[in-house]
Chain A
Amino acid sequence: MKLQATTSQTVGPFFSIGMDWLVRENLAGAEVSGERVRVRGKVLDGDGRGVPDAILEVWQANAQGKYVHPEDTQEKPIEEGFRAFGRIPTKEDGSFEFTTIKPGSVPGPDGKEQAPHLVVSVFCRGLLRRLVTRMYFPGEAANDGDFALSLAPASRRETLVARKGGSASELEWNVVLQGTGETVFFDC
């Protein structure tokens, strides 16, 4: 190693002027195959208040479990037009909402499949570094054996799994930065 990674700094309160051009709240257009889901939730601080100046970024595989990336060499089809990237700012009350498709399984350690999941970065004023978490899907049999879920203490694992919402395609998932119900964050 010759160099050391640059120190992270907060996005601050005014990031929207630089980041809004790439907001993507609908990750998958109508032509993209897969089970469509709408995810709704809130980013909450240590007092349970909504965080109005947070932004989430989502990265995921397609419905076949393939990432659009040169290092995913699995023999699975890529879908043209699916960028698999979301950038979702919170609103005044800390709420957010995005639409995507449920990804397929991707390989994990020891060749074992991982349960379907999204990887998520959280940025806001007050965070000197991004937080990294994952969102899993409710009712998936594979959740039980998923390696990353298993790394989290059993009592906090549910923070990584979305809850079923009003209809079959609606999911609810909050990001709790601190305190009761604090979301599991990963050293990534």
Chain B
Amino acid sequence: MDREKSIGAPSRSNPGKIVGYRRAAPGTQPHYLHPPYVSSHKRSPREPLIFLPHTLSEITGPAFGKEMVDVKACDLTRQHKGEPLGERIIVSGRVTDEDARAVAHTLVEIWQANAAGRYLHKNDQHNAPLDPNFAGCGHTLTDAEGRYRFVTIRPGAYPWKNHANAWRPAHIHFSLFGPAFATRLVTQMYFPGDALLPLDPIFNCTADESARQRLISLFDWENTIPEEALGFRFDIVLSGRDETPWEKR
């Protein structure tokens, strides 16, 4: 990189200089209107988005410290009196930016269906049992290396009304903040070998095959606990910096 042209983080002497975050590579993020996904028909804008150069408003964002976070919220199997039904799993991974730098101490929220494919939500009318010992939600902070870890139950597939005989593949919703308003991400983690994946319009919302594959977790033998729980690894990448602030290189 040309050192003369590299732009630093805002400083007192030059508060107007801003290093923005990278925009998505073509094909790696969904279009708002995705015809196979019926709910997108009336909820997607028709006008083109307007490119917004990042300012201080977009390169800053909320942070949530340890004082906000319930340490027990990362174990979804220990939130109730008894143990939830289903296959106990460890879901862990690393949150980095596109330059593979750790996103440390950032909030990760998850929510999911129970083992029978039912959400603890009043609008979920799927005729499958609720589990009194499973709420299906949790959160945690990444550590200094960007690592996170949840203990949960493998969620079940469930039917939805998008098209005839439509079933969502098993998935866990992830919500991440990252260092800035610009890095906010909500995504879904899927499981390897799920026969429903090729049929799911939400999973198949992007043109880029490798981008889709990265939504599928990997079986994680290293983090599998003998006699206890299977491990799945799901690494998450947030937008990287347009140019590295030269002070930090």
| Cα–Cα, bound, A102→B97 (Å) | 32
On whether the beta carbons of B202 and A128 are closer than 8 Å, the reply is: yes
On whether the beta carbons of B52 and A188 are closer than 8 Å, the reply is: yes
**B151 contacts the other chain (Cβ, under 8 Å)?**
no
For A83, the chain B residues whose CB sits under 8 A away are 62
On whether the beta carbons of B56 and A185 are closer than 8 Å, the reply is: no
| Number of residues of chain A lying within 8 A (CB) of chain B | 77
Shortest Cβ distance from residue A59 to the other chain B in the assembled complex, whole angstroms: 5
**B1 contacts the other chain (Cβ, under 8 Å)?**
no
**B192 contacts the other chain (Cβ, under 8 Å)?**
no
Main secondary structure of the interface of B (DSSP, over half): loop
Among residues of B, the one whose C-beta sits closest to the C-beta of A148 is B52
Main secondary structure of the interface of A (DSSP, over half): loop
For B203, the chain A residues whose CB sits under 8 A away are 9
Could you say which of A19, A121, A148, A184 contacts B109, with CB atoms under 8 Å apart?
A19
Contacts known (A107-B55, A177-B44); A184 close to B50, Cβ less than 8 A: yes
Contact bitstring B128-145, A, C-beta under 8 A = 1, else 0: 000000011111000000
**B49 contacts the other chain (Cβ, under 8 Å)?**
yes
Which residues does B use to contact A, with CB under 8 Å?
9-12, 15-16, 18, 22-25, 28-32, 34, 37, 39-47, 49-64, 68, 96-100, 109-111, 119-121, 123-124, 135-139, 173, 175, 180-182, 184-188, 202-203, 205-206, 208, 210-212, 214-215, 236-240
